[in-house]
Chain A
Amino acid sequence: MRKIDLVVIGGGPAGMGAAVAAYDAGVKDILVLERDHRLGGILEQCIHNGFGLHRFKEELTGPEYAWRFEKELRAREIPFRLNTMVLDITSDRVITAMNSEEGVFQIQAGAIILAMGCRERPRGALNTAGTRPAGIYTAGTAQRFINIMGYMPGKKVVILGSGDIGLIMARRMTWEGAEVKMVLELMPYSGGLTRNIVQCLQDNDIPLLLSHTIVEVHGKERVTGVTIAQVDEKRQPMMETARFVECDTVLLSVGLLPENELTKKADVPLDRMTSGALVDQRRMTEVPGIFACGNVLHVHDLVDYVSEESEIAGRGAAAFLQAGGAKDDCHITVKPGKGVRYTLPQRICAEEETTVFFRVTDVHQAVKVVVKAGDQVLQAKKRPRVAPGEMETVKLTAKLLAEHKDQTLTIELEEA
């Protein structure tokens, strides 16, 4: 069986960033496996701008951001295989993959970095009542139709869910001549960035109906309309508010799920809250030598953070290979407390400065982010505003970690 030091599964921003970082940390025998016909992942269809503000201090479009990393990969001559599907990975790091040139082949990897990205939540996950006509797409599918294939999926559009892809597609379809009637959001607030609500909806006079949902889809061959209704505080539709809206297309932007089918095959334990692997500060999963980064680990709102995380994973995998295995100096568990949905990493096993990423459960103004060990408050920082749609961070110093070896740290919100 062919042996390779590091195999990266997925050639999107996470996979490319991880491969480049591992190379720069001294790993030279790397292979990136990508199922699409080009590198770049989902960025290739995200043709709008706004990527890279943190990392490059300029606004790039998706393909431009991806190209910056592809150039880095090519400059180092890191090998990659396109049109290659990984079918299986095992916990002892045997990868089974296939493509039309080599057929089915196996690789024994010294380390694996999982960078498969995420998938959109489909209609089936929503249990929306009504018929099953054509014209219902996830927002990302519509984005692919328009931006890559050059097809318009419809003319009169209702969008369910105010995630960023839904907002972006509201503007995109308007600019291509469609009438976007409204965006419906089940929650009393939008999960999208403010900037997108302003520039995609308000600019184009598209109403955002908060606390609203679709209660029935109409149409036999093609969607002819939807019945929408307001929901109460328990998110139950109030049928007295129901009304019919004519449309030929429904786009769903109702959340993203990390794509962890391969991860499960390698018996990598997952976090119920992130739907991604449980990892330590190097982004190593509970299975030694298998790392994860990007949207397969947890869904990010900015690709800039994906790149940052992929570099942590790349350096982590390099350290693992160079040390000939994992080395644990301490065992700190990081847990979400009051007002926090999840933290990442969930485990810290070295006394080195660690940035913990976390998401809050609700929108709050003026809060304190508190790090605790038991009842003892270790550090606190004020935040003017937090929202579930925007990832937060807290930095733990090496000193703090050394003082709390083998303990559980909780991250929670308190009123400021």
Chain B
Amino acid sequence: MEREIICTSCPMGCHVMVELDGEQIVKITGNTCARGERYARAEVTDPKRTITTTVALVDGGVLPIKSDAPLSKKNIDQYLKQIHEIVAERPVLIGDVLLADIDGNGVNIVATQNAF
């Protein structure tokens, strides 16, 4: 099987072809630099994304948050569900941890705005 990955490492947007035998990567072509290969490899094995969304503030309104490192894309729906259960209380400062270790690998959900 072959998968086409558009590399987002830089504005070039190379179309990288990854040849797969089951889960095994056989060949990577179409990239024009080493970053392209790394990106395609990660995209095929375990793509990761930073989550940004909002959580409720206890007295109304919302507070923007992010995961302080990228999380496995395949579990994003589950993480979003957990995050949406958070209700934050003022005062919150940028960087405050609202939910520690969401993935068992030490990634935290942190505030990205101050709410005094």
Which of A's residues lie within 8 Å of B, judged by CB?
A: 44, 47-49, 59, 61, 63-64, 67, 146-150, 172, 175-176, 193-195, 197-199, 202-203, 384-385, 387, 390
Residue B6 interfacial (CB < 8 Å):
yes
In the bound complex, do residue B66 and residue A194 qualify as a contact, i.e. CB atoms below 8 Å apart? Answer: no
In the bound complex, do residue B54 and residue A150 qualify as a contact, i.e. CB atoms below 8 Å apart? Answer: yes
When the two chains form the complex, which single residue of A176, A193, A194 contacts B53, counting CB atoms closer than 8 Å? A176
Q: Interface 1/0s, chain B 1-24, versus A by CB < 8 A?
A: 000001010011100000000000
Residue B72 interfacial (CB < 8 Å):
no
Residue B100 interfacial (CB < 8 Å):
no
When the two chains form the complex, which single residue of A63, A198, A390 contacts B11, counting CB atoms closer than 8 Å? A390
**Residues of B within 8 A of A (CB-CB), count:** 24
In the bound complex, do residue A61 and residue B49 qualify as a contact, i.e. CB atoms below 8 Å apart? Answer: no
CA distance in complex: A203, B80 (Å): 15
Which of B's residues lie within 8 Å of A, judged by CB?
A: 6, 8, 11-13, 49-54, 56, 60-62, 64, 66, 73, 76, 80, 94, 112-114
In the bound complex, do residue B8 and residue A194 qualify as a contact, i.e. CB atoms below 8 Å apart? Answer: yes
In the bound complex, do residue A48 and residue B52 qualify as a contact, i.e. CB atoms below 8 Å apart? Answer: yes
Distance from A250 Cβ to chain B, minimum over Cβ atoms (Å): 23
Question: Which residues of B lie under 8 Å from residue A149 when comparing CB positions?
Answer: 61-62
In the bound complex, do residue B12 and residue A384 qualify as a contact, i.e. CB atoms below 8 Å apart? Answer: yes
- Chain A residue nearest in CB terms to B113: A63
- Chain A residue nearest in CB terms to B52: A48
- Chain A residue nearest in CB terms to B67: A49
In the bound complex, do residue B94 and residue A64 qualify as a contact, i.e. CB atoms below 8 Å apart? Answer: yes
In the bound complex, do residue B113 and residue A44 qualify as a contact, i.e. CB atoms below 8 Å apart? Answer: yes
- Chain A residue nearest in CB terms to B55: A150
Question: Which residues of B lie under 8 Å from residue A44 when comparing CB positions?
Answer: 113
When the two chains form the complex, which single residue of B6, B52, B56, B76 contacts A61, counting CB atoms closer than 8 Å? B52
Distance from B86 Cβ to chain A, minimum over Cβ atoms (Å): 13
In the bound complex, do residue A194 and residue B64 qualify as a contact, i.e. CB atoms below 8 Å apart? Answer: no
In the bound complex, do residue A147 and residue B49 qualify as a contact, i.e. CB atoms below 8 Å apart? Answer: no
Distance from B97 Cβ to chain A, minimum over Cβ atoms (Å): 15
When the two chains form the complex, which single residue of A61, A197, A199, A384 contacts B66, counting CB atoms closer than 8 Å? A61
In the bound complex, do residue B52 and residue A47 qualify as a contact, i.e. CB atoms below 8 Å apart? Answer: yes
Question: Which residues of A lie under 8 Å from residue B62 when comparing CB positions?
Answer: 147-150
In the bound complex, do residue A67 and residue B94 qualify as a contact, i.e. CB atoms below 8 Å apart? Answer: yes
Question: Which residues of B lie under 8 Å from residue A193 when comparing CB positions?
Answer: 11
Question: Which residues of A lie under 8 Å from residue B76 when comparing CB positions?
Answer: 175
In the bound complex, do residue A49 and residue B66 qualify as a contact, i.e. CB atoms below 8 Å apart? Answer: yes
> 20 A–B contact pairs at CB < 8 A?
A47-B64, A47-B112, A49-B66, A61-B52, A61-B64, A63-B113, A64-B112, A67-B94, A67-B113, A147-B54, A149-B61, A150-B54, A150-B56, A150-B60, A175-B76, A176-B53, A194-B6, A199-B8, A199-B49, A385-B12
- Chain B residue nearest in CB terms to A385: B12
- Chain A residue nearest in CB terms to B112: A61
